[in-house]
Structure 1
Amino acid sequence: MDSMIPTRPPLDLPRRIRCTDPEQGSLECGHQLWHLKAARSWATHVARTTPACADPLLVSLSELHTNALKHTASGLPGGRVRIEIERRRRLFLLRVTDDGPRPGAEATVPEVRPMLGLCGAEELLVEGGYGLALLDAMALYWDFTREPDGGLMVRAAFDRSGRTRMAA
């Protein structure tokens, strides 16, 4: 008899979420890796700027999205990642929200870990752990907050001209 219980069909992901403000865009992605490419393509469209100006935003979005899939329940079947971009006069504001810790795992917080003994470009090229270092170098500002449902939202601000904090 359990087979008689109707189930809701899964949402087609990735899917755009309608925003009332034309300066905002929102996308919900699933756990599949190909959604990373779809999110970058969507963000390019939402940014409405040249590739050079959008590059810091797109690189950071890719790193945060990848981290969500790799380190949280968002990377499990049925997992979700929500991405929001807001265009302001001189800034792009990016928010990436994951599903929180994987079952049985403790909640973690994002941190940039310097690699001991390395400096400059070598530090950024070390395998693993450079996603947040890239975000830290490209964003004018970033922080995070824990959502009431356990998810983690990372927020970042980018200069719309493409100028990064490292270039400032």
Structure 2
Amino acid sequence: MRTTQNTSARTNPHKRFLGRPAVFRCSLPGKPSQVAEARRWAAAVLVHRVHAAPGLVDTAELLVSEAVTNAIVHTATGRPGGSFTVVIRAYPAGVRIEVHDAGGSTTAPRPLHAADDAEHGRGLALTAALAQEWGILSGRRVRGVFFTLHTG
């Protein structure tokens, strides 16, 4: 696992997150076993580098797990040789976390209304409920999802 930090990244277009963020990245193979590794990495960055509150760390861990799982299950990330990248952008007002996937999905991510006994289908609904904002990344170079968690 390779982690990098970039403090000279472009500013976030969301007005709540002004200024230059501290940026942390981790790229991992697109294997189900790497979901836990992504969660541990994100928690370690949030605790030791960002000094985030425990509640924010807990929520971020859950949402990173959901986003990475979705990338592995629903995109080319989960195919042989696939990978994903988790990006944490830390601002004074909170964090923006992105999960970049390998693309290949024919539909855009959207929350589902899962049946009570369904084993799948709650990831983006959880993200929509717990994050202050979330959205889809669909540029030429980056595909995936993002969510923001505010500190206050």
> What is the CA–CA distance in structure 2 between the aligned matches of 1:18 and 1:159, rounded to whole Å?
21
**1:5-45 C-alpha deviation (Å, 9 max, x unpaired):** xxxxxxxxx32234245722101011222221111111112
Q: Does 1:19 align with 2:13?
A: no
> What is the CA–CA distance in structure 2 between the aligned matches of 1:160 and 1:110, rounded to whole Å?
26
Matched residue SS, 1:92: strand
Matched residue SS, 2:119: coil
Q: Does 1:33 align with 2:32?
A: yes
Tell me if the contact between 2:134 and 2:145 (Cα under 8 Å) persists in the aligned partners: yes
Query: Which structure features the higher share of strand residues?
Result: 2
Tell me if the contact between 1:57 and 1:92 (Cα under 8 Å) persists in the aligned partners: no
Aligned to 1:10: none
Amino acid corresponding to residue 157 of structure 1 in structure 2 = T
Aligned to 1:108: 107
Give the share of equivalent positions with the same residue, in percent. Answer: 28
Tell me if the contact between 2:28 and 2:85 (Cα under 8 Å) persists in the aligned partners: yes
State the structure with more CA Rg: 1
Query: Stretches of 4+ moved more than 6 A in 1?
Result: none
Matched residue SS, 1:100: coil
**1:49-103 C-alpha deviation (Å, 9 max, x unpaired):** 34322111111110000000011110011101011001111211011110001xx
* Of 66, 88, 92, the match for 1:63: 66
Structure 1 residues without counterparts, runs of 5 or longer = 1-13, 162-168
Instruction: Normalising by structure 1, report the TM-score.
Output: 0.72
Instruction: Normalising by structure 2, report the TM-score.
Output: 0.79
Number of residue pairs aligned between Structure 1 and Structure 2:
136
> What is the CA–CA distance in structure 2 between the aligned matches of 1:129 and 1:152, rounded to whole Å?
20
* Of 81, 87, 90, the match for 1:78: 81
Aligned to 2:123: 131
Aligned to 1:146: 138
**1:106-162 C-alpha deviation (Å, 9 max, x unpaired):** 5210111224xx6xxx4xx6321101111011100111121315x52211111235x
